[in-house]
Amino acid sequence: MTDPLWLLLIGMAVVLGGILALRLNAFLALILGAMLVAALTPRAGMERYAKEKRLSPAETEAFLKRSVGERVAGEFGRTCAAIGILIAMASIVGKCLLESGGAERIVRSTLKIVGERRAPLAFLSSGFVLGIPVFFDTVFYLMLPLGKAMAMRKPRDYSLYVMTIIAGATMTHSLVPPTPGPLFVAGELSIALGHMIVGGLAVGFFCAASGYAYACWANRRWAIPLRDSADVSRAELEALIQRDERQLPPFWLSLLPIALPIGLIAGKTALASMSQGFEAGSAPRWLESARGCFAFAGDPNVALTVSAAIGLATVAVYRRADRETLSRFVQAALSSAGMIILITSAGGAFGGILQQTGIGQRIQALSSAYRIGALPLAFAVTALIRTAQGSATVAMITAAGVLGGLAGSGQIGFHPLYLALAIGCGSKPVPWMNDSGFWVICKMSGMTEAETLKTATVMMSLMGFTGLFVIMLAAHFFPLV
């Protein structure tokens, strides 16, 4: 029973059983799983973990003396320190985009650029951008009324509008920080956020393209009508079409809270890479000055804080919100973020405790013995957890904990970024009735369960497999090591 694989199965049984059978909150299920695995981990496994982490004899002895609760709390705190501020600020940015009308401006401006005939592409690209700072459910809530409004003009394309909204938002939700899943995976696998953002956007582009192709095919095959639903009436749809755009912020200001942190974080990574080509003290003065500025402003916590401040200022101006109103907006955003931080940190605790069992080395040994590639393995583990319990974010968090040791082994033959992206793509198959997002899509769109399964479920699964294929090709031809 001391084999790390047994401990992994026990931990997963507790987490999945708690969520599915007992209907426990994911936070409680993850913490219980972490505590049970920590209690069952033998001293020999902890010693191997300390040796793998190259702890000194004094650090090893202190680690071995820590109680189960201290070990779980330590891993919980480590994760919270890494992602807590980022998730809180990203939640404020998302709330401000909704309240100021900035998100609606992005959608409308994109429609103007591409034209109504290319409205599906507008929904795809808008969802792709909005899915970076705003959670998938929120993006879908935001954009679906616009899709329904368009369907009043072209009823035959209603299912196409719904699917393209999903195709755009779902991939950046699982591949591009600062959304919690990719943010946590990048931290767990020690990947620079700039690299994760660039890689996630690149892979997400191919995934979204495959989703768009399937959406066009499915729309020709199945004509799904625009039905009445509880979220919006026909009169409200008419009002949405005729809404005065002068009440919305300009496009550049709407996009700024999204583009600025991405630019700052990516700029920090790019300047650091450029500086590596020079010996100490020999880099041009402009490069050193720029690197110093971006070292501060490009820190993810600082970049997202600046973005949140811009979002709040936009709300204050375009909603004419006073301090009390802004305070309510922030409180609502942080209340939502608080639960996400708790669940993500609990997942970090569960993953950290799993690593202490030596599961990474054990899976690596199995991979070598049975010649299982690391990327298909990461994809399969994540997809299995996603299908079993429904949450893409929980699946990514759990898989990162299981495979974290594999990324740090230095023996996978390519940059750990590819492993992180494979985990993100593995969180796409298979959304079905145990996924809250499935019901959001089904009930808000007015589609039946069968219609949702053959459109959204199949499309998202296809996008995940497309991403795996692209990642495997990239890792083979551009290993980055």
Q: Where are the domains of the chain?
A: 83-322+368-477
Distance CA 132, CA 312 (A): 18
Residue range 313-323: mean pLDDT, rounded: 82
First to last CA, the chain: 37
Between residues 403 and 56, which one has the greater pLDDT?
A: 56
User: CB–CB of 145/153 below 8 Å?
Assistant: no
Residue 476, C-beta contacts closer than 8 angstroms, at least 6 positions apart: none
28 vs 154: which has the higher pLDDT? 28
Residue with the two structure tokens 């993100």:
424
- pLDDT class of 167 with cuts at 50, 70, 90: very high
The confidence score (pLDDT) of residue 95 equals 77
Q: Residue 340 above 70 pLDDT?
A: yes
Q: What CA–CA distance (Å, rounded) separates 165 from 168? A: 5
- What pLDDT shows up at residue 6? 85
- The secondary element (H helix, E strand) that includes residue 18 is helix 4-20
Please write the tens of the pLDDT for every residue from 398-422. 788 777 777 665 667 788 899 999 9
Q: Which residues have CB under 8 Å from 431's CB, separation 6+?
A: 386, 390, 392, 437, 438, 456, 457, 460, 461
Closest CA to 191 of 372, 359, 422: 422
The DSSP string of 337-380 is HHHHHHHHHHHHHHHHHHHHTTHHHHHHHHHHHTT--HHHHHHH
> What gap in Å lies between CA 80 and CA 100, rounded to an integer?
29
pLDDT at 421: 95
Q: Give percent above pLDDT 90 in the chain.
A: 16
Q: Determine the average pLDDT of the residues in 252-259.
A: 84
**Whole-angstrom Cα distance, residue 119 to residue 112?**
9
Q: How far, in Å, CA of 391 to CA of 16, rounded?
A: 11
Q: Is residue 160 predicted with pLDDT exceeding 90?
A: yes
Per-residue confidence band for 233, with pLDDT thresholds at 50, 70 and 90: low
d(CA 161, CA 215): 9
Task: Give the best-scoring range by mean pLDDT among 66-80, 153-167, 386-400, 454-468.
Answer: 454-468
Q: How confident is the model at residue 3 (pLDDT cuts 50, 70, 90)?
A: confident
Residue, of 284 and 237, whose pLDDT is higher: 284
Q: Which of 148, 147, 156, 141 is nearest to 123 (CA)?
A: 147
Of the candidate ranges 43-47, 265-269, 348-352, the one whose mean pLDDT is the lowest: 265-269
Joined together, the tokens standing for residue 466 give 């497309």
Q: Cβ distance 40 to 360 under 8 Å?
A: no
pLDDT of residue 420: 92
Q: What's the whole-number average pLDDT of the chain?
A: 81
Q: What is the pLDDT of residue 237?
A: 52
When pLDDT is cut at 50, 70 and 90, the band that residue 207 belongs to is: very high
Confidence of residue 30 (pLDDT cuts 50, 70, 90): confident
